């Protein structure tokens, strides 16, 4: 949200501020990245004569008795006295894990990154289907089913790991010979000389290891950049690895970067960026809208896609990492360069997008199922200045009848930026203020940053200091002191288990045994974790020195990208234990790593109020979703700047179709709450917000699916149609879950129409006008259609074959909708069929884990009667989908208390809209339960179609319960 430049902004005009490239390193200014790229350049110059010095000693290979993995010793021809341990393991779902670490080392390489990212319960299982066959030159295994054959080949000399799908290469590790794990050495050790017969294996030998590592000890023991000097007591320990996707021209993921979803090249003749993509959680002020610069999150997961399938690699490493991407011969070459850590790569074999999402979810966990209110509209700015200001914002939303669920407070609520402590001058009655918000069935979210003011009257700092759970300086003694919003600050070390219990106590709203508690809060308050990269105003790259020390003696360089995730994880844990029974926590975090999806939502940080940032925000949300962070969004309106009414309205159109939907603004911007807009803009935004609220059941159902499968909430074209090559690079339109909704937000000024690409030969309908976009009878490949996109319109289509459940009654907040009736939109496909789902639970607790839920499956079909062409019927059915899901309790089971509450409240379907009906019906009836022949006399209307619009039957109040089995029969 903010950085050192913003602190200065309080003293000088904001007009002088912009992204400061010099505040962050380039690859050339980073010693380990420079070494890695130089290695790549030497290999490229040597061409075919280049060979990796790493090889497996065949006599060392040991197969596990279960035959699920094997181990071996890896040696290097340039350092014969150094040995590495290799383990290659196959998992039940076909995932291959490749680990390599140094043996008999002077020190440990950091090897705990995976333990923070992976799901610990249940434990990862190994595959009983694999059989490793040990040969003279390679070890291999083959497995698969239903016509899909995976194969893994581990070549000995030089070391290379290759995976295959049906005989086609998919992923190659060290195929270009760029693997290099810098072994530990003492500072006075000279460059090792190659000895004995092994020297004969080394090509291009110049002077010992110089042909491979270079002549100079480049930034091995110390590195100076600008005014900072980074001591490196462990010496050089970087890891270089090339990963090639020979048959995949598109790669996605490795968020967070402001760029296209299909990552542009950083090397080769067509390079778009001169620097590699960087994974280094950083507080980047006013970031560029098109750049490879590192931003707030770091997930080392890359998807690769092409006509021959989908694969992914998860490189479990927590240190600063640079990734070069290049295109070659219809495939993609990547080079990963990390500052520290072991080689720990998971190869996800696919072979399609859905399989990759499932495989990654089994490793790092599925996204959480968030509380329902968090999917609604959030209103924020830096800062609402007082408790009366908060009350005024709520009152103005109600006066204008604009829906709102959450009001946020930024850092100025806290006295001297001492979090958990209210500024009594501006917020004299926080408990009453929160109660006033909650009385309207709304929530508050309050910020808690990781820096603690070093002040003797600040209880939180004192408790953390007394427990000795604060990050230490490089000496390993005392407490690290840096500068952030409160001034002199220290940071809790969440790698220290003793800090976890402290954090739980801090969020308690009632004191236990006389200990300190946040009594001026409530059990419903959500928490915003910001600045957790960590952001340190007077530190290198606006962060913590890399030679600081954490629990276990690890340096900050080893854990930097994991650090921010632990802050959010422990905040989630604290909120979970805040109430009994627990309520679903809501946590928003700026910094994140693989696995954060289990605990928190994220936003794309300090964006600008520009059209370019609006557009790239859509791409960033899609990219985050591919990497598991499905609960994501960009600040509506831009954090900086004062968008004009047209831009603000368009940005609400983007926000309405973002999983996380929050308006936010910088302290120096003009107030821009939607009720301040003039007409017609205010009415446009109000209608868009009401559309979001009407569609909350669709969003919630999509989140439920994602929480079970890991599949993104917003799905790019290639995920929906993985065989349509024309859609592989599209990142400005997306599908919402499995609903069939296809949205293309407008992100350009002055637009009156939008071009939407359709991959399939299926009919699509405009959500509002019911205009039908029918496929050509002679064309089965993709096509582009032009749809209206005036300022009040969001280009939104329903794919034929979809059934949507919405709640159309306007309410001021989402909890007030829990007993509202539903409208079903049935969009018939070209064969007269459709299907959809609706998932419901109480939206706030964990009862759904014991089956307290309702999950309905809807289906429509068209049947010709007696073989005739005109005599036919359309049947729309509702069945209990929960009964078909393992572990779910049917809504018809008496023990399902939640289902019973809906029945007692008479929650029903009040309207059915059937789109794509080409003739006027003769009757409409409803049947409830098996064997019911149906009752005539339902009230309905028919709007005939024409050349453009589809015919529509609207059935008014069939009065069927949402928990019941029933069928509506339309006869012609």
- Distance between CA atoms of residues 110 and 549, nearest Å: 13
- Spatial strand order of the sheet with 526-529 comes to 632-633, 601-603, 587-589, 526-529, 443-447, 406-409, 378-379, 662-663
837: Cα separation from own chain's centroid: 24
Tell me the longest C-alpha to C-alpha distance in the chain: 95
CA-based nearest residue to 467, from 512, 430, 499: 499
Query: CA–CA separation, 158 vs 957, rounded Å?
Result: 71
The phi and psi torsions of 737 (rounded to 5 degrees) equal 55, -145
Given 102, 223, 242, 530, the catalytic residue: 530
Under DSSP, the state recorded for 414 is B
Dihedrals phi, psi of 101, to nearest 5 degrees: -145, 160
* Catalytic residue list contains 606: yes
Bridge-based pairing state of the strands 239-245 and 331-338: antiparallel
Residue owning tokens 């959010």: 568
- Active-site residue, from 449, 606, 793, 820: 606
Contact predicate 371/359, CB 8 Å: no
Cα 28–Cα 29–Cα 35 angle in degrees, nearest 5: 55
Helix then strand count (H, E) for the chain reads: 16, 49
Of 112, 242, 320, 533, catalytic:
533
Is-contact 634 603, C-beta < 8 A?
yes
SS (H, E, C) 221-285: CEEEECCEEEECCCCCCCEEEEEEECCCCEEEECCCCCCCCCCCCCCCCCCCCCCCEEECCCCCC
Please write down the HEC assignment for all residues of 617-663: HHHHHHHHHHCCCCCEECCECCCECCCCHHHHHHHHHHHHCCCCCEE
Residue 261 in contact with residue 253, Cβ under 8 Å?
no
Is 221 within 8 Å of 237 (Cβ atoms)? no
- The CA distance from 139 to 74, in Å, is 14
**H-helix or E-strand spanning residue 390:** helix 387-399
Cβ contacts of 592 within 8 Å, gap of 6 or more: 281, 296, 297, 298, 299, 564, 565, 568, 600, 602, 629
Q: Both tokens of residue 498?
A: 């003793």
How crowded is residue 70: how many other Cβ atoms within 10 Å of its Cβ? 20
Q: For strand 239-245 and strand 180-181, is the pairing parallel, antiparallel, or unpaired?
A: antiparallel
Alpha helices in 808-918 (DSSP H): 897-904
Q: Is 424 exposed, middle or buried (0-12, 13-18, 19+ CB in 10 A)?
A: exposed
Tell me how far apart the alpha carbons of residues 543 and 557 are, in angstroms, rounded to a whole number.
11
What distance in Å separates the CA atoms of residue 599 and residue 378, rounded to the nearest whole number? Answer: 19
Q: Is 760 a catalytic residue?
A: no
Token pair belonging to 89: 């393991």
Burial 883-896 (b: 16+ CB within 10 A, else e): eebeebbbbeeeeb
Please give the radius of gyration of the chain, using alpha carbons only, rounded to the nearest integer. Answer: 29
Q: Is 866 in a helix, a strand, or coil? A: helix
Q: Pick from 651, 612, 647, 648: which is nearest to 634 by CA?
A: 651
**Catalytic residue numbers, as ranges:** 530, 533, 606
């Amino acid at each position: 949200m903010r950085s050192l430049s913003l602190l200065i902004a309080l003293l000088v005009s904001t007009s002088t501020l912009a992204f400061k490239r010099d505040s962050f390193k380039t690859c050339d200014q980073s010693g380990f990245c420079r070494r890695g790229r130089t290695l790549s350049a030497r290999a490229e110059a040597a061409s075919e004569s280049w060979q990796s010095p790493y090889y497996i000693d065949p006599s060392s290979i040991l197969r596990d008795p279960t035959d699920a993995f094997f181990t071996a010793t890896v040696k290097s021809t340039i350092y014969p006295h150094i040995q590495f341990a290799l383990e290659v393991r196959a998992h039940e779902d076909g995932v291959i894990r490749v680990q390599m670490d140094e043996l008999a080392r002077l020190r440990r390489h950091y090897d705990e990154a995976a333990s923070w990212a992976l799901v610990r319960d249940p434990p990862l299982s190994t595959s009983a289907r694999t059989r490793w066959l040990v040969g003279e030159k390679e070890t291999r295994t083959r497995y698969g089913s239903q016509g899909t054959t995976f194969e893994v080949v581990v070549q000995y000399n030089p070391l290379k790991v290759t995976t295959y799908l049906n005989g086609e290469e998919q992923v190659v590790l060290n195929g270009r010979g760029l693997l290099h794990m810098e072994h530990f050495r003492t500072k006075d050790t000279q460059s090792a000389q190659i000895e004995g017969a092994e020297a004969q294996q080394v090509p291009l030998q110049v002077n010992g290891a110089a042909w491979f590592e270079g002549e100079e000890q480049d930034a091995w023991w110390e590195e100076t950049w600008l005014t900072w000097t980074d001591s490196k007591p462990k010496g050089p320990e970087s890891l270089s690895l090339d990963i090639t996707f020979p048959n995949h021209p598109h790669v996605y993921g490795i968020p967070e970067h402001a760029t296209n979803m299909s990552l542009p090249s950083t090397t080769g003749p067509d390079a778009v960026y001169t620097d590699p993509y960087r994974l280094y959680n950083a507080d980047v002020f006013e970031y560029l809208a098109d750049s490879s610069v590192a931003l707030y999150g770091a997930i080392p997961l890359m998807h690769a896609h092409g006509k021959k399938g989908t694969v992914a690699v998860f490189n479990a490493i927590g240190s600063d990492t640079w990734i070069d991407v290049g295109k070659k011969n219809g495939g993609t070459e990547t080079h990963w360069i990390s500052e520290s850590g072991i080689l720990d790569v998971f190869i996800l074999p696919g072979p399609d997008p859905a399989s990759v999402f499932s495989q990654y979810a089994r490793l790092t966990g599925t996204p959480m199922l968030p509380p329902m209110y968090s999917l609604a509209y959030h209103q924020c700015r830096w800062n609402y200045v007082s408790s009366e200001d908060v009350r005024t914002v709520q009152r103005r939303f109600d006066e204008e009848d604009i829906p709102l669920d959450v009001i946020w407070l930024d850092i100025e609520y806290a006295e001297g930026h001492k979090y958990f402590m209210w500024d009594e001058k501006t917020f004299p009655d926080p408990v009453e203020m929160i109660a006033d918000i909650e009385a309207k069935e709304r929530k508050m979210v309050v910020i808690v940053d990781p820096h603690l003011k070093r002040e003797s009257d600040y209880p939180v700092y004192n408790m953390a200091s007394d427990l000795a759970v604060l990050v230490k300086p490089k000496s390993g003694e005392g407490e690290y002191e840096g500068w952030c919003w409160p001034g002199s600050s220290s940071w809790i070390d969440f790698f220290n288990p003793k800090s976890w219990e402290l954090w739980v106590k801090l969020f308690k709203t009632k004191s236990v045994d006389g200990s300190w508690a946040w009594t001026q809060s409530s059990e419903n308050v959500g928490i915003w974790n910001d600045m957790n990269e960590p952001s340190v105003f007077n530190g290198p790259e606006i962060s913590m020195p890399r030679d600081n020390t954490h629990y276990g003696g690890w340096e900050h360089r080893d854990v930097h990208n994991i650090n921010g995730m632990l802050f959010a994880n422990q905040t989630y844990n604290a909120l979970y234990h805040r109430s009994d029974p627990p309520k679903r926590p809501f946590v928003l975090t700026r910094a994140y790593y693989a696995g954060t999806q289990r605990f928190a939502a994220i936003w794309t940080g300090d964006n600008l109020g520009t059209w370019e940032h609006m557009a790239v925000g859509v791409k960033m949300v899609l990219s985050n979703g591919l990497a598991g962070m499905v609960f994501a969004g960009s600040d509506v309106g831009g954090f900086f700047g004062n968008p004009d009414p047209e831009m603000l309205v368009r940005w609400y159109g983007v926000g309405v179709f973002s999983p996380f939907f929050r308006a936010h603004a910088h302290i120096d911007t003009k107030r821009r709450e939607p009720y301040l807009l003039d007409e017609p803009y205010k009415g446009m935004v109000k209608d868009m917000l009401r559309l979001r609220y009407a569609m909350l059941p669709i969003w919630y159902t999509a989140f439920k699916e994602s929480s079970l499968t890991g599949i993104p909430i917003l799905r790019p074209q290639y995920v929906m149609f993985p065989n349509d090559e024309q859609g592989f690079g599209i990142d400005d339109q997306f599908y919402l879950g499995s609903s069939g909704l296809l949205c293309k937000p407008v992100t350009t000024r002055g637009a009156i129409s939008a071009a939407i690409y359709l991959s399939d030969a299926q009919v699509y309908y405009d959500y509002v006008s019911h205009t039908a976009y029918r496929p050509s009878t002679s064309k089965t490949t993709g096509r582009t259609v032009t749809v209206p996109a005036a300022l009040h319109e969001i280009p939104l289509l329903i794919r034929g074959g979809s059934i949507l459940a919405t709640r159309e009654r306007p309410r001021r907040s989402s909890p007030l909708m829990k007993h509202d009736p539903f409208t079903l939109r049935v969009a018939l496909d070209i064969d007269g069929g459709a299907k959809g789902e609706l998932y419901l639970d109480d939206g706030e607790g964990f009862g759904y884990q014991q089956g307290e839920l309702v999950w309905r499956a809807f289906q429509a079909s068209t049947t010709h009667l007696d073989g005739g062409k005109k005599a036919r019927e359309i049947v729309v059915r509702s069945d209990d989908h929960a009964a078909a899901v393992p572990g779910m309790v049917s809504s018809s089971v008496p023990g399902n208390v939640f289902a019973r509450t809906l029945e007692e409240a008479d929650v029903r379907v009040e309207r059915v809209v059937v789109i794509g009906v080409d003739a006027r019906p003769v009757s409409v009836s409803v049947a409830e339960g098996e064997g019911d022949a149906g009752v005539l006399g339902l009230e309905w209307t028919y709007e005939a179609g024409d050349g453009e619009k589809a015919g529509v039957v609207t059935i008014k109040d069939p009065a069927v319960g949402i928990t019941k089995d029933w069928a509506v029969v339309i006869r012609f």
